[in-house]
Amino acid sequence: MNTDKTQNSNASMHELRKLLFEKESARIDKLESILLNQGLHAQEVAKVLAEAVELRNRSDEELSIALAPTIEKSIQASIARDPQALSNALFPVMGPTIRKSIASTLAAMLQSLNQTLEHSFSKQGFLWRIEAVKTGKSFAEVVLLNTLIYRVEQVFLIHRETGVLLHHLSSDPTHTEDADVVSSMLTAVQDFIRDSFAGSTDQNIETLSMGDVQVLIEQGPDVVLAVVCRGNSPRTLHETMQVAIEDIQQNFVDELTAFDGDTEAFIATDEKLSPLLIADYKNKTEEKKSPLKAILFVALMFAIIFSWWAWHQIEISQTNTQWQSYLERLKAEPGIIVTGISDNDDVETITGLRDPLSQDPKALLAEYQLQNKNIHFEFEPYHALQPALILKRVSRLIQPPKSVELLLEDQTLLIRGVASEVWLTQAEQAALYVAGVESIDSTGLSILSSSFEQKQTHFPIKMDALPVKPKKNIIRKEEPKKKVVVTDAVILQRAISLLKPPTTVQMVYAKGILYVSGKASASWIDFAKHNFSKVEGIDSFYTSNLTNQGTKP
């Protein structure tokens, strides 16, 4: 019973709630669906995101700080994915920046070059060079000492109370690594000197000096400005520093008051401090003239270098031409075969084969003006079968008398002229040992009678030392031809050879008579009269036209 009552009551309540809150219930369901739908969230946030970012940026910098890591990671991811996209986006910014930086560096280099050239090649520069040698200093150092009035090399902006370096500038951008330590030490040094000697915090150190380097110090209420200066700084530099301090104190009052060690804000002092990095040189008016002199000198140097280079090239070209001609000649030379030419460490090596009787390659070098060239010859010996060399070899072996001519035709040695029987016999035997001589033809040779054989040169070949005679062809005249008819010319020649007349004497032979005319000494005439009969074929000696010119031969 009770259960039925409760069920009826719940149903009634449900009915009642439905009647009273049906519309509200539907709205709650709708709101719930909006809240649970993530897609609808994004749409709603997107509608107000830009306004929200702008509003937050106006109030503080928390959003920038919060977004920084995300943006950094996004950039890293973008570069990792496609570096070209970011590179393209930055190109319009990076290009001008890089150009400006390069132009600035080049300008500084040119200025330095102009100054160096001016001082290097002027009369004054020459004297300074001597001074540099005498004192053992570098030339640049001497130039600097003589031309520099002063130069500010470093500027330190220091927080007065803590000694912390707020900003630093240097004429040499690479010389900045320990500036913060130096800044603190500079503060400590001031404290030390003040504690040791001054005794009052109102008194300040204005200058620290060592050699030609000075540290000029100016104090402000919150900052200390120190400049490192080389040379003799003008008093006005202190005033310039004071103006810079006042400017910084005025423009950075909030940053200095709230200073807690963060030096980021003081990078902006750069424009106020950079005018302090100044230098003053002597002879400024002369410097303006210097580029012309320098340019002329450089042009002259270039001209000299170019001339030397051109001359060197011509010389190389000539040498190459001569070298090629020499090689052509060597290749064409009988008895020389060039198999290789190599160039190693300026040494030319020619390899090949060479007949010992051929032309000496070294002797040819002078002909091509290559005596000074470093050439190394590596020739293996061989016997060349070219006719000229075969004849040479035969001549060396059989040593023919002057009245004999040797020729080679189709491997046949032709012997022409006049010679003795003994010589011919030995020559025929020996010549056949020479490679390239297959047969001998001496049909063109006249054999002297036995009385003349004794006057022939002794044949030098030791026939016993020769091996067995090779079987080769020897063509000789028939035996009757052994008795030869001696011509008038031969008889005259023999007479001249025997009597050796002076140049003032003329001799003619005809029909057994030797006609002698001209001038001769009495002794020669006497000698001729006693010896003319030794020449076969001369029966009488006719001297009617011969004049005695005295006893001198």
Q: Does 181 sit near another protein (CB under 8 A)?
A: yes
Residue 337 CB coordination number (10 Å): 17
Query: Considering the rule CB under 8 A, would residue 188 count as an interface residue with another protein?
Result: yes
**Residue 462 φ/ψ, nearest 5 degrees:** -85, 100
Q: Which of 262, 286, 360, 488 binds another protein (CB under 8 A)?
A: 262
Question: Smallest distance from the beta carbon of 262 to another protein, in angstroms?
Answer: 5
Task: Choose the binding region for another protein from 261-269, 332-340, 381-389, 437-445 (rule: CB under 8 A).
Answer: 261-269
Distance separating alpha carbons of residues 396 and 431, to the nearest angstrom: 10
Classified as helix, coil or strand, 466 is: coil
Q: Does 513 bind another protein (CB under 8 A)?
A: no
CA angle 491, 496, 498 (to 5 degrees): 95
The nearest distance, CB 244 to another protein, in angstroms, is: 21
Q: Which is nearer to another protein, 255 or 355 (CB)?
A: 255
Q: Does 62 contact another protein by CB under 8 A?
A: no
164, 277, 341, 353: which one contacts another protein (CB under 8 A)? 164
Q: Please state, in angstroms and rounded to a whole number, the distance separating the CA atoms of residues 158 and 180.
A: 9
What is the CA 142 to chain-centroid distance, rounded? 33
Backbone angles phi, psi at 503, to 5 degrees: -65, -15
Q: In the numeric block, which tokens belong to residue 378?
A: 């590596």
276 close to 152: Cβ distance less than 8 angstroms: yes
- Considering only residues 60, 202, 264, 410, which one is a binding residue for another protein as defined by CB under 8 A? 264
Identify whether the C-beta of residue 231 lies closer than 8 Å to the C-beta of residue 151.
yes
Q: By CB under 8 A, is residue 270 in contact with another protein?
A: no
Q: CA–CA separation, 512 vs 10, rounded Å?
A: 186
Query: Considering only 258-266, 278-286, 378-386, 495-503, which stretch makes contact with another protein by CB under 8 A?
Result: 258-266
Q: At closest approach, how far in Å is the CB of 164 from another protein?
A: 4
Round to the nearest angstrom and report the end-to-end CA distance of the chain: 191
Answer for which of 102, 185, 301, 316 binds another protein (CB under 8 A) is 185
Question: Alpha-carbon distance 411 to 440, whole Å?
Answer: 9
Query: Judged by CB under 8 A, does residue 194 bind another protein?
Result: yes
Closest CB 183 distance from another protein, rounded Å: 9
Q: In angstroms, give the least distance from the CB of 242 to another protein.
A: 22
Q: Find the radius of gyration of the CA atoms of the chain.
A: 59
Nearest CB to another protein, comparing residues 22 and 260: 260
202 touches another protein (CB under 8 A): no
Q: Considering only CA atoms, which of 229, 228, 205 is closest in space to residue 218?
A: 205
189 belongs to the binding site for another protein (CB under 8 A): yes
Q: Which of 540, 500, 508 is nearest to 524 (CA)?
A: 500
Interaction residues for another protein, span 290-319 (CB under 8 A): none
- DSSP one-letter string for 17-42: HHHHHHHHHHHHHHHHHHHH-HHHHH
How many CB atoms within 10 Å of residue 169? 20
Instruction: Pick between residue 212 and residue 262 the one whose CB is nearest to another protein.
Output: 262
> Does residue 180 touch another protein according to CB under 8 A?
yes
Residues 131-160 that bind another protein (CB under 8 A): 159-160
x/- track of binding to another protein for residues 345-364 (CB under 8 A): --------------------
Single residue of 116, 162, 171, 425 touching another protein by CB under 8 A: 162
Nearer to another protein, 14 or 73 (CB): 73
Residue number with CB closer to another protein (259 or 326): 259
Does residue 153 contact residue 229 with C-beta atoms inside 8 Å? yes
Of 247, 259, 260, 252, nearest to 218 (Cα)? 247
Q: Does 72 interact with another protein (rule: CB under 8 A)?
A: no
> Does residue 204 belong to the site contacting another protein (CB under 8 A)?
no
* Interface positions with another protein (CB under 8 A): 159-165, 178, 180-181, 184-185, 188-189, 191-192, 194-195, 260-264
